[in-house]
Copies of this chain bind each other. A is one copy, B any other.
Amino acid sequence: MTRRSYNQYCGLSRSLDLVGERWTLLIVRELMSGPKRYSDLVDTLDGIGTNLLASRVKQLDNDGLITRKQLPPPAASQVYELTPAGRELAAALVPLAVWGLRHRFDEPRRGDENYRAEWTLVFLAALIDPAATTGVRAVFQFWIDDSPAALSIDNGRVVVTPGEADDTDVVVTTDLRTLADLATRDLDPDLTKAAECLMIDGDATVAQLLLELLTERDGRSHARAVCC
């Protein structure tokens, strides 16, 4: 039983031979917000068959994109995490995710559609220029469409974690539609529309920095900040 292949000597098709099957790239996305247990993946990847998940993580492990790791006692459980090659793959997914944020959000969130804030944050965080965060140390707690996730910046290291973090400097409450517009489009400079759906609470100068990091790319600013 051999693996299905496009049989083309091409970077894209060889990538897709490896990770083009259903669910595979979403598993990689899940691991972008830190190591996860098998049952975490089952919970968050709603609809995946457990047999399929087991098969996928085995493939990803064999292909060197993720590793199993035993947590030290007393946890006694194992987690999956990205290898360096897996992290490079994750970085390569960012433009595809941003393309989706730009082109596939005309239709709003369906009622039954799942959502987790870290799904958005991992890709927006990848857009942040690490060099612009030297000397910065801050924790931003996001609530996006009522889902919590945190963005931690520590002197060039940018990390996203699901749920609520401790010692948060700033709390951002918004909806995904607004956040996607803010980060992926040239928003109207005064952010009037966005301001209605974007609440920022906490230290004003730190909040200002966040808005600059999210909107300022390629050396130019996409939006001027409004803060409360």
Binding site for B on A (CB under 8 A): 6-18, 20, 22, 25-26, 29, 46-47, 85, 88-89, 91-105, 109-110, 112-116, 119-120, 123, 145, 176, 180
Contact = CB atoms under 8 A, between A and B. Distances in A.
Contacts of A6: 26, 47
Contacts of A29: 10, 12-13
Contacts of A105: 11, 14
The quantity of this chain's copies bound in the complex is 2
Contact of A96 (B12, B98, B120, B123): B12
B104 A9 contact: no
Interface of A is mostly: helix
7 contacts: A9-B110, A9-B115, A11-B98, A12-B100, A13-B26, A15-B96, A15-B100
Contacts of A95: 91-95
Contact of A11 (B97, B109, B110): B97
Given A7-B113, A9-B115, A95-B92, A104 B18 contact: yes
Given A12-B123, A85-B103, 17 more contacts: A7-B110, A9-B115, A9-B176, A10-B119, A11-B101, A11-B104, A11-B105, A11-B180, A12-B25, A12-B26, A12-B93, A13-B119, A14-B104, A15-B99, A20-B20, A88-B102, A92-B96
Q: What are the nearest 3 A-B pairs in CB distance?
A: A11-B100, A15-B100, A92-B95
A143 to B, nearest CB: 15
Contacts of A22: 20
A7 B95 CA distance: 20
A105 B119 CA distance: 30
Contact of A120 (B11, B46, B119): B11
